[in-house]
Amino acid sequence: MQLLYVRYLANRPVDEIQCVAQTRRRHRCTSPLLTPETLAGFWTLVPITATHAQLPLHGAAMAVYALTGLPYAEQLRWWAQRCSEHAATPATADVAVVEWEPFDPLIHHQHIRTRLPTLTRRQGPADRSGRETQS
């Protein structure tokens, strides 16, 4: 996840990231951050860079869910890990801490995907024998 120009590792899939605010019943809000009503980010490939030395590692790319195109307030909402409803009520207490972990390619290398998620779902067997004849 790329958010406010920083890369973070979430502890669950993007569409399952849950609001951390406390409900009136003192339970954790179960609303996801990403809903059909909210602005969505997009998957993109970015160079793998070390956190401190911003140098590309191996010239490789990895898939990130980028929120950089979203309005600043919307990125702040993700960073605060709140659903649309609780982002509008900042006074509401958080019942859980935000689950973002600053992404470090050396520590989190097992989470690196070098292909975009949609491109990994191939239909049928992969043809590695060569290019298909263009018709």
Whole-angstrom distance, CA of residue 70 vs CA of residue 58: 30
Q: Is position 20 an interface residue for Zn ion (rule: CB under 5 A)?
A: no
Choices 12-20, 34-42, 72-80, 115-123; region in contact with Zn ion by CB under 5 A? 12-20
Q: Which residue has the tokens 């996801």?
A: 32
One of 21, 64, 67, 70 touching Zn ion (CB under 5 A): 21
Q: Which of 62, 77, 72 is nearest to 17 (CA)?
A: 77
Minimum CB separation of residue 98 from Zn ion in Å reads 13
Rounded (10°) CA dihedral 44, 47, 51, 56: 180
Q: Contact with Zn ion (CB under 5 A): which of 1, 3, 10, 29? A: 29
Residue type, 74: E
Work out whether 62 is an interface residue with Zn ion (CB under 5 A).
Answer: no
Residue 17 binds to Zn ion (criterion: CB under 5 A): no
Backbone angles phi, psi at 110, to 5 degrees: -70, -10
Q: What's the CA gap between 8 and 10, in Å, rounded?
A: 6
Q: Which stretch binds Zn ion (CB under 5 A): 17-25, 38-46, 66-74, 124-132?
A: 17-25
Q: Which stretch binds Zn ion (CB under 5 A): 20-28, 60-68, 102-110, 118-126?
A: 20-28
Binding track over 63-102 against Zn ion, x by CB under 5 A: --------------------x--x----------------
Question: What is d(CA 56, CA 61) in angstroms, rounded to the nearest whole number?
Answer: 9
Residue with tokens 């060569």: 130
Residue numbers of the site for Zn ion (CB under 5 A)? 19, 21, 29, 31, 83, 86
